[in-house]
Every structure is written in structure tokens, then in C-alpha cells.
A and B are shown apart, each in its own frame.
Chain A
Amino acid sequence: MIDKKSRLYIPRPTARPGETPDFGYLDLSPAGSVDKPSIDSRTRDIEYMSSGLIRVLDDDHQAVGPWAPDLDPGKMQIALRWMVLNRIFDKRMWQIQRQGRISFYMEALGEEAVSIAQGMALRPGDMCFPSYRNQGLYMYRGMKLVDMMCQCLSNTRDMCKGRQLPIMYHSAEANMFSISGNLGTQYPHAVGWAMASAIKGEDHIAASWVGDGSTAEADFHNAITFAAVYHAPVILNIVNNQWAISTFQGTAGGERRPFAARGLGLGIPGIRVDGNDFLAIYSTTLWAADRARRGGGPTMIELVTYRGGAHSTSDDPTKYRPKDEWKSFPLGDPVERLKQHLIALGHWSDEKHEELEAQLTAEVLAAWKEAQKYGTMTEGPFLDPSTMFDDVFAETPRHLESQRRRMMEVEGVNGEGSES
């Protein structure tokens, strides 16, 4: 509607607390209805992938259409296991935070398919530059639950030695980059890493994840420009979970065109995929990875999902969105959908699922028991605070050694119960 004079337009979500959830704004395509092009297609010929919604699992839990991947049920069972683990782990850590035993936590409730499907579609040599809701990627790539818990506890086995907020993991061994508290900063790193891979003539690719909200950051635009200009072998994921803390995806500019279309102006193909459909995510990621590995450059993937929980333990979403909004989300629950698909294939059952949940709950509990042996916020052993001066530089310069000595004089002890 064109008005007679300019008025500032303020984007507003379709429902606030107490109102009826309304996802009418989400353009949906039936499962199997979006074509699958060859990986050497020109961006201009495959723009339809950024506006449609690629889905594989239909309402009868069948895998349909050209994007249905060739995955045996055994592999899907493994995927289900990781997704369930991610959810159970998050639930436990959330409770632990509520008990005051860790300072902070962020869960991936409702978004578990993103990390697990994409983790499975990438190769171990590919480098991941995750966001803070990609804990599933760390798990899938082999990080032990006890190590993740120790990080959250900032205890003596914390990989970050007490320097980082809970959930900001890293693992060079697993090719999992260090999580920053600043949003979107890892996007250009992924592009630069991919450029280096191409400079060196290697076939490893990079992948990075940001939320719908962080697409507004300059780093996002810097990164996609460089990715496009140099045909960097990188997958640029946008996890559109509808909410950036309290602002809905329209506040980041998602109302008129899908986030998947952000790269089209630069010639980067965009894929809009059902982010709760494990098979569709796996399949589209494989397509993008294949394209990147064979010199086709970057692909942008928008994963349409819903943030099932609060932004973090410091957030209360009932203050800004309908309490039961997730229940109305038309793309459902990723864990439930994969489970039902496996059941429909005759390779899973409710009993097996309950068994799996019980087994993983026990695993998480055992990991928590073990993690506490390395110290908690109140019980030793504690980290040696003098280590805070390490790793500022490759070699500790004199002024930091002198501050370390001063700190230890003032504190009197070298960290009660410390190992040194």
C-alpha cells in the first residue's frame, strides 16, 4: 500500500503474548515439490530454490521428491540418536543452570536437526564455524559430553580454562572453531578459511551458521561479498528460528524476501529448506558441499525452524511471544518427524525410542557425575587463577608475568586446591 506521505514502518510479529499464534506469513511448499537442479547450474536459473521450501518428509512421514536422500535406516537411527542426545543434554544442562550450578546455558530445542543433519553431510576435514546453538555439531564431531559439561562449569578440565561463558566450546581436533560471544563474527572467518583452502588447492570446505537476527550484522554482508567475489568453497547457513531474543525475523528484514535470497544479488545460490526436516537438510547440504568442493563456490542455506525454548537462561520468552507458539509452528518438531519416518519405514518404534531416551538420559547423568569430579562452582578442585595470564600472546610478555606475580601476592595463594 502506498501512502500519501512517508511514515516509518515498524515490523510487528503476528502474535504477542495472549494472542493466537499465526504462522500465515510462512510460505510453505508441499514436500517433494521443489526441483533439484544439477550442482553446476547458474544461480540465475535456480533462484526458485530461495523462495520455495525444500521438504522431503511429507505429512504421512514418507520421504518424497527429488531431494529424498539415499540414506539407509541405520544411518537415520544414528542421526536420531544424536538429535535426542542433544535435546536430553540441553534439558539437563538447563536444569543444572536453574539449580545455580552453572552460570548460563543456551539450548537448541527445536533446532536439533540443523546441527546433526549438516554435521553428517559434511566431511571430517571440513571446517565448521558454528554459532552458539550448534552444540549438536560438537557432539556429532566427537566432543565428549563430560568435556562440554566441564566447559560449562569452568572447572579444572575446562577446555577454555575458565575464560569463556558456558557453551562457547572449541576443538581444533574436531575442526570445530571457537565460539565467540559476538554475533556473526565467524562468518567472514569461514569465508577466509575457505579462501585459504582454495589458495592451497585443497578440497576441504568451510561452513558457518548465523541466526536470522545476525544477518543484519556488517560481518554477514562482508562475508558473503568475499565469498561471492572469490568463489570461496563455503556453505553459508542462516538458521531462521523466527526469533532473535525478543525481535521476530521481520526486524532483521525477513518480511519481504526470504533470507535465502540475501546472496542472489551477488550471484550466490540460495536454498530455503525445511529446518525441521532432517532429510531435506542433509540433502541440500550435500548438494551445496558438492558444489563447493567442485569449484562452484558458495551456497547460502536458510533453515526455516523455530526456537522452541528461550534465547538463553537469562531470557523469558513469555514476555514477548505466545507461550504455546511452537505448538502451532507448521513444520513441527524435528525429532518427532525423523522418529515417525523411521517408524513408518518399519525401522523404529515408540518402545525403542523410550529405550533410547532412557539410555541417553543415563549417559548424560553419568557424564554430569564425572564432570563434577573436576570441580564445580562451589566445590574444588578449582582452576589455578594464575593461568589467566597465559595465551594472551604466544609467549607471555614481561608486563603480564609481573601482573601474574602481583595477582598471586594479592590473592595469597596459588588458587586453593590447584594442581600447581
Chain B
Amino acid sequence: MTQMNMIEAIRSALDVMMDKDPNVVLMGEDIGYFGGVFRCTDGLQRKYGEHRVIDAPISEGGIIGTAIGMGVNGLRPVPEIQFADYIYPGFDQIVSELARLRYRSCGEFFSPVTIRTPCGGGIRGGQTHSQSPEAIFAHVSGIRIVMPSNPYDAKGLLISSIESDDPVVFFEPKRIYNGPFDGDPEKPAVSWASHPKGEVPEGHYTVPLGEAEIVRQGSELTIITYGTLVHVAIAAVEEVGVDAEIIDIRSIAPLDIDTLTESVNKTGRCVIAHEATRFAGFGAEIAARVQKDCFYNLEAPISRIAGWDTPYPHAFEWQYFPGKKRLVAGIRNMMEVE
């Protein structure tokens, strides 16, 4: 075991997979010689060569489109889109091609592409470097959507994603690249060094796709969340002092719905928290499933705590971000319902 932050864990996953499988190739903007704007591919081009860690033109549609073709020709491409906010020029290639190729060719053709992309706010990125577009992709049948919340899961889930024959969009919440973030920007930054999930094996291991994790056991309330907000939820629960169960869903699609509904059937209360805007957000899907499967055990209406339905404003980042204050208030409101 080694202490790794999320960047190191992701780099380690890529290193392990490139070493294990010569068909794994990386491509993206600034990822080669320079090692990526967030350093996730630092040193990999030196180790594996320019033919396997490829600096790409600034063309997200081209990166994803050509990665699909590489995958059809037997490679296992892991393209990086520098910010999730930049992924939209490649949207048609993801939705109409990557997600549909296996289906429309009845399995004769597929392309095992894993698209890595940093998402989320909290780094003063403004509206073009802060978005969380996971729900837009979750609506598309045929792609897996993953978002880890810690270094251990990031490495294990990324290895699973690369090994999977399904296409994966792998969202990396960049606010927690260097340390868990409890949603309070005033507090000094914490590193992963003291966190149990910062303990990462150096070699190959997997965290299965499609399985949620119960981060905290509890009996009074279930908080369903993922990404950065896992850590905000933990802090909020400590502050309120409620015996909450916190679930990190990790795989957004396909979704491990059973773990969620079992928990809510036990606790009777459900708060869903995500950083993305609320309207038609992924929380709506969870809420619909939970109310159907847990209706007779619910003691309060399901509540969603999310980013406001505005673009991510640069100067009002912390008013936008669903931080600890909003979660604490949401939990208290829910516990007041008799």
C-alpha cells in the first residue's frame, strides 16, 4: 500500500494497464510530453512512447471519433477530455456512435473506449471549467457512467473501466484530486495522506462497475450521493449528529438501485445530493425509483440538494455549490418531518 492522491491513483491505474496490455493507448490535449494539465498522465509518454501516449489537436470531436476507430481496430483507447465542459463537441460521437455501435451491429463491432474527464466546480473555474454533465450522459443507453470519490476507488474503477468491453465516460471530480473536500472553502485544504481511501495498492486491482458503496452505516436517514459531495455529506452528518447512512453510488449508469432502495426501506428518509443542477438532474431518476420501491416505508418526502439551475457563476461559486450549509439545512428539515 502507498499513499496516493487521486491524480496519482489515476496515473497508477493507467500505468498498470499500459504495462499489462499493449493495446491500451492514451490520447488527449496536453497529455503527452507535458503530462496533462492536472498531471494525470505525467511521465507516461516517457515510459511508453509517443505512439501510446499521444498529444492530440484541440478537437474533442476528433479525439473521441478517432478513439472509436482505434477501438474498432483492436486498441483499448483511453482518451482524456481536458475538462468535462469541453466534451460537447464530441457528444454526437459518444451518443450516436460509441454508445450504439455494439447494438446496431449486434455485437460484430464495438469500441472499448474509456473517456476520462475532470468535472465539477470548486476550483474557481467559472461556467466553462466547473460543470457536472453526468446526467446528460446517463440518459444515453449503451454507455457506462462512473464517478469516483476517492483515490482507492478512482484506481480500481478506472482499471475496471479500461478492462470493460463497454464504453465508459469516467468523470473525475477535480475538486478532490488533491484531498477530500467537506464543502467549506474557508477551511485549510486537507490532503489524502491521512485518509484511509488514500491508501492505494501499487499493482492491479479492480473496484467493480455498477456497485454502490455504503460509506457510512446508519439508521435514521439515507443520503445518496457521489463525487465531491460524498465528503460534504460526511461532514454535514457529523455536524447535525444524525445517524445517517451515506451511499456513494460510484457507478451512475448502470445504477446499483438495490443498494439504494434497501437502505431507504430501512431508514425511511432519503436525501439525494449532487453538484450538478437539479432540474432533470440524476437525482430525479433516483428519486423516482426510490419513491416507487420504498413508498410504504417513506416517512418524509424525498429531498434533492443540488446546484442551482443556473450556469456555474465564477464569482458566486460557493453560493452555487451545494456545500455543507445546504446539506445541514436539508438534513435538519427532513428530520423535522414527523
Residues of A near any B CB (own CB < 8 A) = 127, 129, 159-161, 163-164, 168, 170-172, 177-178, 180, 182, 185, 187-197, 199-200, 206, 218-219, 222-223, 225-226, 229-230, 390-394, 397-399
Whether, in the assembled complex, B69 has its beta carbon less than 8 Å from a beta carbon of chain A, the answer is: yes
B52→A391 contact, CB < 8 A: no
Nearest CB in chain A to that of B90: its residue: A222
Alpha-carbon separation in the docked complex, A390 to B110 (Å): 13
- By beta carbon, the residue of chain B nearest A188 is B65
Tell me the smallest distance from the CB of A92 to a CB of chain B, in Å: 25
CB pair B105–A218 under 8 Å, yes or no, is: no
A-B contacts, 17 of them at CB < 8 A, read: A160-B105, A163-B103, A170-B105, A180-B97, A188-B66, A189-B97, A191-B65, A193-B72, A193-B73, A195-B70, A200-B74, A222-B59, A222-B61, A225-B57, A392-B102, A392-B141, A392-B142
Considering residues B52, B104, B255, B257, which has the most beta carbons from chain A within 10 angstroms of its beta carbon?
Answer: B104
State whether A192 and B104 are in contact (beta carbons under 8 Å apart), knowing that A199-B52, A218-B89 are contacts in the complex.
no
B106 interfacial contact with A, CB 8 Å: yes
From residue B170, how far is it (CB to closest CB) to chain A in Å?
Answer: 16
Residues of chain A lying within 8 A (CB to CB) of residue B52: 199
Does A177 contact B68, Cβ atoms closer than 8 Å?
no
B57 touches A394 (CB 8 A): no
Q: Mark B113-151, 1 if CB is under 8 A from A, else 0.
A: 000000000000000000000000000011010000000
Bound form: Cα–Cα A129–B74 in Å: 16
The yes or no answer to B210 lying at the interface (CB within 8 A) is: yes
A180 and B166 contact, CB distance less than 8 A: no
Quick one: which of B64-89 are within 8 Å of A by CB?
64-75, 77, 89
- Identify the B interface with A (CB < 8 A): 25, 51-52, 54, 56-57, 59, 61-62, 64-75, 77, 89, 92-93, 96-97, 100-110, 141-142, 144, 164-166, 210, 254-255, 257
Number of A-B contacts (CB under 8 A): 144
Taking CB atoms, residues of chain B closer than 8 Å to A193 are 69-70, 72-73
Q: Which of A127, A164, A218, A230 contacts B104 (CB 8 A)?
A: A164
Bound state CA distance, A222 and B63, in angstroms? 8
For B89, what are the chain A residues with a Cβ–Cβ distance below 8 Å? 218
Contacting B74 at CB < 8 Å: which of A159, A160, A196? Answer: A196
- B residues in contact with A161, CB < 8 Å: 106
A215 nearest CB across to chain B (Å): 15
With A and B bound together, what is the CA distance between A189 and B73 in angstroms? 10
- Are A160 and B25 closer than 8 Å at their CB atoms? no
Shortest B262–chain A CB gap in Å is 14
Q: Give every chain A residue within 8 A of B102 (Cβ-Cβ).
A: 391-394
- Chain A residues near B255: list those with CB within 8 A: 399
Query: In the complex, given contacts A196-B25, A399-B255, what are 12 additional A-B residue pairs having Cβ atoms less than 8 angstroms apart?
Result: A177-B72, A178-B108, A192-B71, A196-B70, A199-B75, A200-B73, A222-B62, A390-B107, A393-B144, A393-B166, A397-B254, A398-B254
The distance in angstroms between the C-alpha atoms of A332 and B66, with both chains bound, is 37
Q: Is the CB of A222 within 8 A of B254?
A: no
Are A399's CB and B254's CB within 8 A?
Answer: yes
Q: How far is the CB of B273 from chain A (nearest CB, A)?
A: 23
CA distance A162 to B172 in the complex (A): 37
Distance in Å: Cβ of B13 to nearest Cβ of chain A: 20
Q: Which of B57, B64, B109, B210 contacts A229 (CB 8 A)?
A: B57
Closest chain B CB from A167 CB (angstroms): 13
Given that A177-B109, A222-B59 are contacting pairs, would A189 and B69 also be in contact in the complex, using a CB cutoff of 8 Å? yes
Q: Which of A164, A182, A199 touches B97 (beta carbons < 8 Å)?
A: A182
Q: Are B69 and A192 in contact (CB-based, < 8 A)?
A: yes
CB distance from B158 to the nearest CB of A (A): 18
User: What separation, in Å, do the CA atoms of A397 and B211 have in the docked complex?
Assistant: 12
Judge whether B109 and A192 touch: CB under 8 Å: no
The 7 nearest A-B residue pairs measured at CB: A192-B69, A188-B65, A192-B66, A222-B62, A196-B73, A189-B69, A193-B69
A226:B51 contact, CB within 8 angstroms? no
Q: Report yes or no: A392 in contact with B69, Cβ–Cβ below 8 A.
A: no
Note all chain A residues with C-beta closer than 8 A to B77.
Answer: 192
**In the docked arrangement, what's the CA distance between A387 and B56, Å?**
39
Given contacts A188-B69, A189-B97, A199-B25, contact A170 B62 (CB under 8 A): no
B104 and A394 contacting across the interface, CB-CB below 8 Å: no
Taking a contact as CB atoms closer than 8 A, the residue among A171, A197, A223, A230 that contacts B65 in the complex is: A223
For residue B106, which residues in chain A have a CB less than 8 angstroms away from its CB? 159-161, 163, 390-391
Residue from A171, A172, A206, A392 with most neighbouring chain B CB atoms (10 Å):
A392
B109 lies within 8 A of A225 (CB): no
A225/B104 contact (C-beta < 8 A), A193-B73, A199-B52, A393-B144 known:
no
In the bound complex, residues from chain B placing their C-beta under 8 Å from that of A182 are 92, 96-97
In the assembled complex, how far is the CB of residue A190 from the closest CB belonging to chain B, in whole angstroms?
A: 6
Scoring B52, B144, B166 by chain A CB atoms within 10 A of each residue's CB, the highest score goes to B166
* With A199-B52, A392-B141 as contacts: A180 and B96 at CB distance below 8 Å: yes
CA distance A391 to B96 in the complex (A): 15
B165 touches A168 (CB 8 A): no
B62's contact among A200, A226, A392, A397, by CB below 8 Å, is which? Answer: A226
Q: How far is the CA of A172 from the CA of B141 in the complex (A)?
A: 23
* Contact assessment for B104 and A160 in the assembled complex, using a CB-CB cutoff below 8 Å: yes
Contact status of A127 and B73, CB under 8 A, knowing A219-B65, A222-B65: yes
A391–chain B nearest beta-carbon distance, Å: 5
- Residues of chain A within 8 A (CB-CB) of B74 are 196, 200
Chain A CB within 10 Å, residue with most, of B25, B56, B75: B75
Known contacts being A163-B103, A188-B65, A392-B103, is A170 close to B97, with CB within 8 Å?
Answer: no
B61, B92, B109, B257: the one within 8 Å of A170 (CB)? B109
Collect the chain A residues with CB atoms within 8 Å of residue B71's CB: 192
Interchain CB contact under 8 A, B72 and A189? yes
Find out whether the CB atom of A196 lies under 8 angstroms from the CB atom of B69. Answer: yes
> Whole-angstrom distance from the CB of A412 to the nearest CB of chain B?
24
Using A188-B69, A223-B66, A225-B57 as known contacts, say yes or no to A393 and B142 having CB atoms under 8 A apart: yes
CA A192 to CA B93, docked complex, whole Å: 13
A163 partner residues in chain B, CB cutoff 8 A: 103-104, 106
B105 adjacent to A394 (CB under 8 Å): no
Contact of A170 with B68 in the complex, beta carbons under 8 Å: no
Complex interface: chain B residues within 8 A of A219 (CB): 61, 65, 92-93
CB contact between A178 and one of B66, B109, B254 (< 8 Å): that residue: B109
| CB <8 Å contact, B66 and A185 | no
Report the Cα distance A177→B108, complex, angstroms.
Answer: 9
Set of chain A residues within 8 Å of B107, measured between Cβ atoms = 390-391
A75→B72 CA distance, assembly (Å): 32
B109 contacts which chain A residues (CB < 8 A)?
170, 172, 177-178
Give CA–CA (A226, B59) in the complex, Å. Answer: 9
Tell whether, in the assembled complex, residue A196 and residue B75 are in contact, meaning their CB atoms are under 8 Å apart.
Answer: yes
| Of the residues B57, B100, B110, B210, contact of A226 by C-beta under 8 Å | B57
Q: Pick the contact of B68 from A192, A225, A229, A390 — CB < 8 Å?
A: A192
